[in-house]
Copies of this chain bind each other. A is one copy, B any other.
Amino acid sequence: MNSLFWFIPLTSVIALATARFFFKQMIQYPRGSEKMKSIARHIRQGAMAYLQQQYKVVGIVFLIIACLLAYLCYGIKLQNKWLPFAFLSAGFFSSLAGFLGMRTATCASSRTAFAASQSLNDALQVAFRSGAVMGLVVVGLALLDYSIWFYVLHTFTNAPTGQQKLLAITNTMLTFGMGTSLQALFARVGGGIFTKAADVGADLVGKIEANIPEDDPRNPATIADNVGDNVGDVAGMGADLYESFYSSILAATALGAAAFFSHDITTQIKAALLPAMIGAVGTLLSILGIFSVRTHEEATMHDLLKALNRGVRYSAILIFVLSFLLLYILHIPNYVGIWGSVVVGLITGEIIGKSSEYFTSQAYKPTQRIAQHASTSAATGVISGIGIGMISTVIPVSAVAIGSILAFGFASEFNPKAISMGLFGISVAAVGMLSTLGITLATDAYGPIADNAGGNAEMSKLSSEVRRRTDTLDALGNTTAATGKGFAIGSAALTALALMASYVEGIRICMLQSGYHALSCGHHLVNTAQASLIDFMHLYEVHLMNPDVLIGLFIGSMMAFLFCGLTINAVGRAAASMVNEVRRQFREIAGILEGKTKPDYARCVTISTRAAQREMCIPACSAIIVPIVIGYFLGVPGVLGLLSGSLSTGFVLAIFMANSGGAWDNAKKYIEEGAYGGKGSPAHKSAIVGDTIGDPFKDTSGPSLNILIKLMTMIAIVTVGITVGKTCVH
């Protein structure tokens, strides 16, 4: 094992230790009055109750799948024997990241509220450092899980040559990603349904019908709404980005080992470890960046933004330089070209982030135009949001398209036949994009903490100045959150492209295991071990005149829409039952609206919890079953068509939904800031309609799509044995 390897677990430990340090620091901060503590306890209990329930359901699903995998591995021997355990461990680490992040967030809310009663800077420090706990836990645990399994497999795998051993290890590790993806899907979908059901329910009855302000303690759904911010925007997002970070590294690792298969073992191992090392360097830089976020006592909103941006920018510029240094030290062939791919990833991420900001921030024309159309009527506001969201797909898709070509080109030295190297370049670009996740996630995660602090301040009737400060932080968080979603989607597109190549590598391994040592390509035979990805494409006729490929494409595109439809409807149904429950409490429990009786908060939490558990199963199961069924009936061409279709459509659909949702949200905020009549005007009422429609767009369906795409690919990789068996060739 290369000694450079130890750099990865070491970084992981540093990240986790720093997270622990921030947590300790936060936990020592005063929690505020009794009232504030009690509200925070309510929310923490609700969130933990939800997570317990969620993990119970997910645990059962995981155990069932682990048993099926055990059959796959031990019964029909189509996969590596470590798969079931790694699958469980991947799920466990991902859940742990979500759990720790959420525990921190729920502890931080009353403290941030209290800090906000001291100064804006105090509030920023508490909220941002708590967000940083989440960011560092996510990257730290991902690197830890990676290191442990790499070490274990390196110790226990046998193979004729070092190169073959590494290929086997990295391809086995790839299949571990399935656990992370599945857990992330459950967390995103479940959390998304929970939070949006509570949010829509609380708003529709509380704000509009009963005319009480947001986060008013008289609203029975208000605790559920705040719990939702934690389980959706913290735990859900954490699991989502854990998955993005982890699977991008796994895919790049496997492609690195494949691309450098014909080199000496040292070079190959360096290439394979490169992605994780880039992640590790980025993590160290994130820590530096987080420490650099400081402001003076009389900081303005502008100063805050500058402080945050400074942290993120420092990390980004340094990774630019240090990744070159890293590659220079490793000195693998064409290291300059590969560095080019890393840079392409960084720049593509930046472009996607800026594009999201342009299309969703009220500082720019598109969102302002939605607000203007909302002042005509609710319907025109919604139409305009959909139109702008659809148009907003052009820049990110073009950026990813051009980015992939460049990343492919740099890594392959513009040789179109060097497909493996080119695909490695694409996967490295995805890693580059996510390398400084530690700090970008910190700037994401502190938003919901500030939001919750605002809720706490409102419920415990702190001065309006406190609420104003937390709102400032929250608004800042909204902008950075849009960027985070852009990164998640952009990296998913690149990672999924890379994973498709890994699927083909999986076919090769499966064939070798089944004793097919030669492929009949056209009129001559090719050695299976030496066959290129193109040979496999020819062998299986994975071209665009094969009806199986085209039908796979159709089904793949449909899957993206079906998945969104199912999750959107789930939110609709759950919100409707929440609305009914809130109405029932107002009707049946006397004295709620006068503030004399406490509403039954727990029932609303239970309703959201149950709805989330019930509704998340069908979409998740369809993502598991469809690739297997298509593989069984349409073979390799059908599966690759399916994956390409769900990738291309899902990618575009995800950007559309995220941006439309974000733009409606901020168009409403723009009006609330005084445009077109301000709060309470007809324009505001119209904008609320758009905002409500956008809720499941941007927080449930849209962000789940990037996980769906990768999960389907992972399932295909794990079950590749079934597919190859069906389209058996000699």
Contacts and interface: CB of A to CB of B under 8 A. Distances in A.
A225 to B, nearest CB: 16
B504 A545 contact: yes
B393 A558 contact: yes
A545 B533 contact: yes
Q: A-side binding surface: helix, strand, loop or mixed? A: helix
A66 to B, nearest CB: 30
Nearest to A649: B649
A565 B376 CA distance: 19
A652 B561 contact: yes
A384 B383 CA distance: 16
Interface centre among A380, A553, A653 (most CB of B within 10 A): A380
Nearest to A535: B522
Contacts of A696: 383
A501 interface: yes
Contacts of A401: 551, 554-555
A377 interface: yes
Contacts of A571: 383
A702 B225 CA distance: 36
B689 A556 contact: no
Interface string A365-400: 000000001001111101110111111111001101
Given A380-B575, A649-B652, A692-B379, A569 B391 contact: yes
Contact of A656 (B561, B575, B648): B561
A109 interface: no
A613 to B, nearest CB: 19
Contact of A558 (B383, B397, B558): B397
B648 A389 contact: no
Given A558-B397, A572-B383, A649-B652, A208 B377 contact: yes
**How many chain copies?**
2
Contacts of A408: 547
Given A524-B522, A537-B545, A550-B404, A384 B569 contact: yes
Contacts of A534: 541, 543, 545
A538 B547 contact: no
Interface string A568-581: 11011001100100
A380 B564 contact: no
B550 A644 contact: yes
A477 interface: no
Given A390-B568, A689-B689, A692-B377, A554 B383 contact: no
A183 interface: no
A112 interface: no
Interface in A651-670: 651-653, 656
A565 B689 contact: no
A543 B696 CA distance: 36
A633 B504 CA distance: 27
Contacts of A497: 547, 550
Contacts of A644: 544, 550, 553
A153 interface: no
Nearest to A204: B377
A422 B547 contact: yes
A200 B380 CA distance: 9
Contacts of A548: 405
A73 interface: no
A727 to B, nearest CB: 11
A521 interface: yes
Interface string A243-283: 00000000000000000000000000000000000000000
A391 B565 contact: yes
A352 interface: no
B689 A200 contact: no
Contacts of A373: 572, 576
A325 interface: no
Interface of A: 200, 204, 208, 373, 376-380, 382-384, 386-394, 397-398, 400-401, 404-405, 408, 416, 419, 422-423, 426, 493, 497, 500-501, 504, 521-524, 533-534, 536-538, 541-551, 553-558, 560-562, 564-566, 568-569, 571-572, 575-576, 579, 640-641, 644-645, 647-649, 651-653, 656, 688-689, 692-693, 696
6 contacts: A373-B572, A379-B689, A383-B693, A388-B565, A400-B554, A422-B547
Given A383-B572, A416-B541, A504-B545, 9 more contacts: A380-B579, A386-B565, A387-B566, A387-B569, A397-B558, A405-B551, A522-B538, A554-B651, A556-B648
Give me the 8 closest cross-chain CB pairs, A-B, nearest first: A390-B565, A537-B543, A387-B569, A379-B692, A387-B568, A391-B565, A522-B522, A557-B648
